[in-house]
C-alpha cells in the first residue's frame, strides 16, 4: 500500500495534468507507433521495407543496408533524407515502396473513435510518412473523420521531424495557436520543436525508441498508452 504522502503527490501531479490540458483545442498526433499501438508491429513492416529498398538501390547485402539505415536515421533524422542527400533518389518511389504493407492487422476501433470525438477543437496528423500511408492507417482504424488535416513529409519538403522551421510551417498551414495545442509523439527528440514553440508535449513511450535521452525537460506528459491517457483527461476534464 502506498503511503499517504505518496498518494497525495500522485493526486497533485494528476491535478496539474488536468489543469494544463483544459485550454487545449488543437491536438497534433504523430502517426506511426502513436496513433496505433506499437505492438501491432505495423511499423516493423515499414522498417523492413526501408532496409530492402536501401539494399536493392545500393546493390548491397541487407545486413549492410540496415547499418546504413540506422546511420542515416541518426545523421539525417530519417533514411529517406539520407538517401536524398547522398544518392539523390526519387522520394516518391521510396515512399510508395516502403508503405506497400499489410494494413489489415489494424482493426476498426470504435472506442478510439469515440475518445477522439470527445476532444474539443481540431485534430491533426503530423508524420514523416506520406499522406497515403496516413490515410490507410486512419481508414483501417475507422477514425479518418476525426481529423481536420494531415501534414506529411512532402508538405515538409522532405525535411523530417525534428525540424523547427518545418514545425512552424505546419502550425501556419493549419493556423494552430501553440499555447492552445498539444503534440503526441513516440520519439522524444521529435517533441523538442513543439516545446520550443510553446505546445504542450505528450511522449508515448514504446520499445521502438532508438534515441534514449536523459534530459527530457521538454516533455510535459508521458504515457505508454495514448488511448488510456486520452480517456483519463476526457473523464476528468472534458466530460465533467
What pLDDT digit, counting tens, does each position of 120-138 carry? 999 999 999 999 999 999 9
Q: Report the pLDDT value the prediction gives residue 211, as an integer from 0 to 100.
A: 55
| pLDDT(233) > 60 | yes
Is it true that domain 42-98 has CATH number 1.20.120.550? no
- pLDDT number for residue 6: 42
- Looking from the CA of 21 toward its CB, the CA atoms found within 13 Å total 28
* pLDDT tens readout for residues 138-157: 999 999 999 999 999 999 99
pLDDT given for residue 239 in this prediction: 77
Integer distance in angstroms from the first to the last C-alpha of the chain?
Answer: 29
Domain extents in the chain: 4-38+106-238, 42-98
Q: Could you tell me which residue, 11 or 73, shows the higher pLDDT?
A: 73
- At 10, the pLDDT band (50, 70, 90 cuts) reads very low
pLDDT number for residue 215: 72
Q: What is the pLDDT of residue 208?
A: 67
Q: What is the mean pLDDT of residues 196-221?
A: 84
Per the CATH hierarchy, to which homologous superfamily does domain 4-38+106-238 belong?
HAD superfamily/HAD-like (3.40.50.1000)
What's the confidence (pLDDT) of residue 8?
A: 44
The answer, yes or no, to whether residue 1 has pLDDT greater than 70, is no
233-239 mean pLDDT? 90
Residues 50 and 69 sit within 8 Å (Cβ to Cβ):
yes
Please tell me which residue, 188 or 211, carries the higher pLDDT value. 188
String of DSSP letters for the chain: ---HHHHHHHHHHHHHHHHHHTT--EEEE--TTTTS-GGG-HHHHHHHHHHHHHHHHHT--HHHHHHHHHHHHHHHSSHHHHHHHHH---HHHHHHHHT---GGGS---HHHHHHHHTSSSEEEEE-SS-HHHHHHHHHHHT-GGG-SEEE-TTTTTT-PSS-HHHHHHHHHHTT--GGGEEEEESSGGGGHHHHHTT-EEEEE--TT-----S--TT--EEES-HHHHHHHHIIIII--
| Phi-psi category of residue 157: left, alpha or beta, with phi > 0 → left and psi -120 to 50 → alpha | left
Report pLDDT for 240.
64
Does position 117 have pLDDT exceeding 60, yes or no? yes
pLDDT at 18: 79
Cell of 7: 498518494
199 prior amide bond cis, ω within 30: no
Residue 213's pLDDT is: 62
**What digits encode the pLDDT tens for the residues 153-176?**
999 999 999 999 999 999 999 999
Amino acid at each position: 500500500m502506498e503511503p499517504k504522502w505518496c498518494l497525495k503527490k500522485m493526486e497533485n501531479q494528476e491535478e496539474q495534468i488536468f489543469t494544463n490540458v483544459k485550454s487545449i483545442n488543437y491536438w497534433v498526433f504523430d502517426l506511426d507507433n502513436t496513433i496505433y499501438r506499437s505492438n501491432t508491429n505495423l511499423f516493423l513492416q515499414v522498417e523492413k521495407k526501408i532496409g530492402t529498398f536501401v539494399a536493392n538501390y545500393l546493390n548491397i547485402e541487407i545486413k549492410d543496408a540496415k547499418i546504413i539505415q540506422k546511420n542515416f536515421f541518426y545523421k539525417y533524422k530519417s533514411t529517406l533524407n539520407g538517401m536524398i542527400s547522398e544518392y539523390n533518389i526519387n522520394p516518391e518511389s521510396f515512399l510508395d515502396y516502403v508503405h506497400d504493407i499489410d494494413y489489415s492487422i489494424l482493426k476498426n476501433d470504435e472506442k478510439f473513435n469515440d475518445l477522439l470525438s470527445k476532444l474539443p477543437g481540431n485534430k491533426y496528423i503530423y508524420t514523416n510518412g506520406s499522406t497515403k500511408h496516413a490515410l490507410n492507417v486512419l481508414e483501417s482504424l475507422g477514425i479518418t473523420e476525426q481529423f481536420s488535416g494531415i501534414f506529411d513529409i512532402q508538405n515538409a519538403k522532405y525535411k523530417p521531424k525534428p525540424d523547427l522551421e518545418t514545425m512552424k510551417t505546419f502550425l501556419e498551414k493549419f493556423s494552430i495557436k501553440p499555447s492552445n495545442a498539444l503534440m503526441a509523439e513516440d520519439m522524444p527528440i521529435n517533441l523538442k520543436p513543439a516545446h520550443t514553440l510553446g505546445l504542450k508535449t505528450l511522449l508515448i513511450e514504446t520499445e521502438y525508441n532508438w534515441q534514449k535521452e536523459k534530459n527530457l525537460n521538454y516533455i510535459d506528459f508521458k504515457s505508454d498508452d495514448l488511448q488510456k491517457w486520452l480517456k483519463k483527461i476526457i473523464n476528468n476534464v472534458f466530460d465533467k
